Amino acid sequence: MRFSLPPVAVAPSLKPNFWDLALIPVIFALLALLAYGGAQMSIPYDVGEPLPMSLDPSNLPYYLLRSALRMGAALVASLFFTLTYATLAAKVPALEKVLIPILDILQSIPILGFLSITVTGFIALFPGNLLGVECAAIFAIFTSQAWNMAFSLYSSLKTVPNDLIEASNIFHLSPWQRFWRLELPWGVPGLVWNMMMSVSGGWFFVVASEAITVSGQNISLPGIGSYIALAIADKNLGAIGWAVLAVLGGIIFYDQLIFRPLVAWADKFKVDSLPGEQVPDSWLLTLMQRARFFRFMTQLPTMLWDIFTGLLRRQDDDKLFHRAPGPLINFPPWADRVWDVVLIVAALVALVEVSLFINGEVELHEVGMVLLYGVATTIRVSVLIALASVIWVPIGVWIGQRPLVAQNVQWIAQFLAAFPANLMFPVAVILIVHFDLNVDVWTSPLMILGTQWYILFNVIAGASAIPQDMKDAAGNMKLKGWLKWKRFYMPAIFPSYVTGAITASGGSWNASIVAEMVSWGDTKLEAHGLGAYIAHATADGDFPRIALGIAVMCLFVMAFNRFLWRRLYMLAADRLRLD
Amino acid sequence: MNHAATTTALLDLKGVRKTFRTPERAERTVLEGVDFRLEEGEIVALLGKSGSGKSTLLRIMAGLIPANGGDVRYRGKTMTGPARGISMVFQSFALFPWLTVQENVELGLEAAGVGLVEREERANEAIELIGLGGYESAYPKELSGGMRQRVGFARALVMRPDVLLLDEPFSALDVLTSETLREDLLDLWDESKIPTKGILLVSHNIEEAVSMADRVLVFSSDPGRVRAEIRVGLPRPRDTESAAFRQIVDEVYTLMTAHVRGAVAGAAEQLTLGYRLPDTTPGKLAGLLETIAEPPFSGRADLPQLAEETELEDDTLFHLFEGLRVLGLARIAAGDIFLTQAGQLFVEAEDAERKEMFAEALIKNIPLAAHIRRVLDERKDHRAPENRFLQELEDYLTDNEAERVLETAITWGRYAEIFDYDYNSGVLMLPEEVVEEMEAEEEKAAEE
């Protein structure tokens, strides 16, 4: 497999052609920006030193660059994490037993609670340099991106078709070669899709993670997020407007320059595209495949890549047979038992440790309170998902029936999902204060502001995928009204709806940490809920309470997933698939 | 091409045994006491019904899975893993979709460390040889099924294998395409254009096997073993319409349908609960019965002729034959199938009567169906979860096969209206009418 974008022609003429004229400036501009932004990330810095921030919109492109770079760095880190973590989990059964449950838990941990815990460590890692704080912010974004990518690759690795594995054995590929030539390529479409989802969710965390509080000190890293934080503190609505535009630019930048080409390229790794499915295309990829100079430029990387993935051939060349394929590492059965015991003991020790840590600070009745807060937030999330479903499912189905509308709306919905909803929070504060509304009720919609779009665009996708013959049959039987919904639309879109609702619900839990405690200037609104509890403890740097809050939220999210979403998902997968 | 077997055989298997163990369950024997030799210069076909273990045997020969017992040798050396010199072509093609034709063909050479220039040369050679010239830069998904399998062959042949293992390579292709590809391969073989010294073909298509192979081995199932061997002494290319060819095909059909246990036709044969119900439906069984009853067969049909008339695949037909046989609706003898008295009555009956006859035959002959019905009769609410029966079946069968058998039993039982099944809850139950009838009878009994 080649990761270079264009297929290298046998004897390409290397004279630059028309396409090069367009492409070369783009590439050099990108490289220059990368270098400049990178240099700015590692300037000397001591905690307490104020970083200059200004609300002048002319600074926004620079801030955008810094935020986008953080996003990129987090994405690269997530990719490395995915390649190692998912591969280990898929290849070593003893590790799989630990790594997969951990991933499951990590996925339900509220990311925003992480930040204050990790930032101290990162600063200690790079004393006297801004890189420490940058790393903490990047880590926060990383934690919002990595888990689903790792899950995606893991499940791909577990589902590599058996005949392809047999073929790679018959043709004597070494485990190393098999990974790069078979297993990773097999996982590429899923991985690219999940990267796109991750970045889409990542903008929210970029905004939330740049203004950090460490041991009473506020650090604002230059970036869109800090700009917004400053605008909120200054009650500057105009600046918020500029920030919205800048984020829009960032989203388009990532979409056009990175994900469009990536998705178009990943299409070749799909085993079979369904007939009628639109083949994704990208102007940038087309440009790169046509530009001669660029093809020339990629020849060397392609060759290096081929050499790299072709490394580690089977060492038993001279023998008649090579070793029969098996698991990467084989442990004797007793080692398995010992390992189980070690895991159980470790889990118990950790449980005791955490209880002691929390118990030293927090009274038992407060734990009860926190559980009640958890119930309050659960109710908010459930009611809002239900409301959003009632609104968006009919609209999504309507749109999905009209291919021309769907194409445009689909793009807008995906964009809205990427848009950091926390930008809109100030507006809510102003409205709530102005109309003197109940804070517990009216801050709730903020939780779903950014995540409801997942429901919409999944429903649209589901509705557009309903086969024409089924629609014809429904029309032929003159299905109408509620009956048509009950017997036709709802079962047909159910699997895609569940996928969307799971994403929306997970996102809402996370968003509750910023949505239950919002501010505008010195006006602070705080609802009763688990999110507000964690946000409060984070602002105070109160680690036992952060730990308690996170643990309880984790518990609720996992229970929610296990008892509701996973069951619905199984039901959808088993009963209601259209194929 | 027949050389005398003076030296060691290419492949030599003695007393090969393969069992699969599912956790906490008894072993299931897939292969037992398999003896097999592939000599230099011959093509051997392995014929058997689906699930008879012939694919497992092929994978043992390929070094993909180890045998549990017996001796497997390649060129006199005990097999310990995939061998250099053995290549394989897959039923599903197993091409890498993200590699072009050229890259797919080169993959094995690359893994073997062949240099760039030689690699390209050898790949081009193989591509030309197999008739793929001009498609080097195409991706598999751009190609038709036949062309894809040509890539599969080129990929195997480029390794210059001693032994070529073919795992039903033509069965995913349409008749015309598979015939062309078969002929092309035979041309390469007969004209010694490839260095391959022996070919093993696994197939369930009798005509395909007889038209290609020097020897045809008939494989039996449960556990899988070589039951019979037929030498095809005809020169290639073979005329499939010739009397000699038809004669051999007839012979193979007879062997494939003969029953080891109930050698005497009609002799009562005791099936067990774990009997693997043939994978077919009551509708198809009835259809075949009608075909046999009607002219030109009028109650007795020559098997190859029936295959031609119905245009069904051999594998599908064998399942149907098996179904009719165990239900006592037809009998097979000397390469012919003919209706029993029950079968004749069934054909003449109306739909409702047919159901009753089918139900009777099912309860009488199929222990699993009788068992399910008995359990449902005995239970107070006349309901039982499918898992209960699945677990019982898993004592005899692999998980997948147990599921398939139960599914088949449910399909048959539903047609016969001896029990019903709810997909959503996975519960088997007596049909409503039956329960009502029973309740009415109970009430009557209570009144008296």
Element at B399 (helix H, strand E): helix B399-416
Q: Assess whether pLDDT exceeds 60 at residue B223.
A: yes
Asked whether residue A70 carries a pLDDT value surpassing 60, the answer given is yes
Q: What's the rounded Cα separation, in Å, for the pair A547 and A31?
A: 42
- The dihedral over CA atoms of A221, A224, A227, A228, expressed in degrees to the nearest 10, equals -120
Share of chain A above pLDDT 70, in %: 82
Per-residue tokens: A71: 């996003």
- Digit-coded pLDDT (tens) for B274-318: 888 998 999 999 999 999 998 888 888 888 888 888 888 888 888
CA–CA distance, B444 with B432 (Å, rounded to integer): 18
Q: Alpha-carbon distance A95 to A402, whole Å?
A: 48
- The span from the CA of A388 to the CA of A446, in Å, is 12
pLDDT of residue A552: 87
Above 90 in pLDDT, residue B112? no
Q: Report the DSSP pairing between strands B215-220 and B42-47.
A: parallel
Q: For residue B262, what pLDDT is reported?
A: 42
- Mean pLDDT over A333-341 rounds to 77
**Nearest to residue B153, comparing CAs of B210, B89, B213, B212?**
B89
Quick one: average pLDDT of B153-170? Answer: 92
Distance from CA of B202 to the nearest CA of A (A): 16
CA distance B274 to chain A (A): 27
pLDDT at B166 exceeding the cut of 90 = yes
Rounded to whole angstroms, how far apart are CA atoms A81 and A144?
13
Spatial CA neighbour of B163 closest among B71, B54, B89, B67: B89
Tokens (6 digits) for A444: 């709730």
Q: Which of B127, B196, B119 is nearest to B155 (CA)?
A: B127
Q: Which residues pair with B46 in a beta bridge?
A: B202, B217
Mean pLDDT on A356-378: 83
Band of residue B332 on the pLDDT scale cut at 50, 70, 90: confident
Assembly ipTM: 0.79
Please tell me whether residue A213 adopts helix, strand or coil conformation: strand
| Subunit contact B111:A271, Cβ cutoff 8 A | no
Which chain B residues have a beta carbon less than 8 Å from that of A269?
Answer: 97-98
Q: Using alpha carbons, select from B243, B233, B170, B203 the residue that is nearest to residue B42.
A: B233
Task: Report chain B residues whose CB lies below 8 A from the CB of A313.
Answer: 111-113
Which residues from B are below 8 Å from A8, CB to CB? none
Given a contact cutoff of 8 angstroms between Cβ atoms, the answer to whether A196 and A260 are in contact is no
The amino acid present at A525, given as its one-letter code, is L
Residues in A closer than 8 angstroms to B99, CB to CB, are 1
Do the chains contact at A314 and B62, CB–CB below 8 Å?
Answer: no
Residue A330 pLDDT: 62
Measured between alpha carbons, how far is B12 from B45 in angstroms, rounded to an integer? 15
**The pLDDT of residue A47:** 65
Q: Do the beta carbons of residue A284 and residue A257 sit within 8 Å?
A: yes
- For A92-173, where are the alpha helices, taking DSSP H only? 93-108, 111-125, 131-158, 162-170
Percent of chain A's residues with pLDDT above 90: 7
Length of chain A measured in residues: 579
Q: Which of B89, B98, B106, B400 best tests the A interface by mutation, with the highest count of A CBs <10 A? A: B98
What 3-state class would DSSP assign to A529? Answer: coil
Determine the pLDDT at residue B214. Answer: 93
Tell me the shortest Cα–Cα distance from B432 to chain A, in angstroms. Answer: 24
Interface of B with A in 90-129 (CB under 8 A): 90-92, 94-100, 107-108, 110-113
| Encoded tokens for B168 | 């039903």
Hey, which bits of B148-214 come out as E strands? Answer: 163-167, 198-203
pLDDT tens digits for range A276-319: 455 666 677 776 666 666 666 666 777 777 777 766 666 555 56
Under a CB-based contact definition with an 8 Å cutoff, are residues B428 and B420 in contact?
yes
Q: How far is B55 from chain A (nearest CA, A)?
A: 12
**Cβ contact B139–A268 (<8 Å):** yes
Confidence band of A80 (pLDDT split at 50, 70, 90): very high
Spatial CB neighbours of B179, under 8 Å, sequence gap ≥ 6? none
Using CB atoms, pick whichever of A161, A163, A320 lies closest to residue B83: A320
- The more confident residue out of A128 and B34 is B34
Gyration radius of chain A's alpha carbons: 26
Hey, are the CB atoms on A324 and B64 less than 8 Å from each other?
yes
Contact A187, A157 (CB under 8 A): yes
- Say if pTM beats, i.e. exceeds, 0.80: no
Chain-chain contact of A322 with B107 (C-beta, under 8 angstroms): no
pLDDT band at B264 (very low <50, low <70, confident <90, very high): very low
Partners of B92 on chain A (C-beta within 8 Å) are 161, 163
- Rounded to an integer, what distance in angstroms lies between the CA atom of residue A57 and that of residue A59? 5
Cα–Cα nearest to A170, from B128, B147, B155, B132? B155
* Cβ contact, residue pair B90, A313, below 8 Å: no
Residue of A nearest to B423 (CA): A575
- Rounded to whole angstroms, the Cα distance separating A45 from A118 reads 18
The residue of A165, A170, A321, A576 whose CB has the most chain B CBs within 10 angstroms, and thus the best one to mutate to test that interface, is: A170
Chain centre distance of CA B411: 21
Up-side HSE of residue B309: CA atoms within 13 Å toward CB? Answer: 15
Yes or no, beta carbons of B85 and A325 under 8 Å apart: no
Looking up tokens 């147990």 gives B402
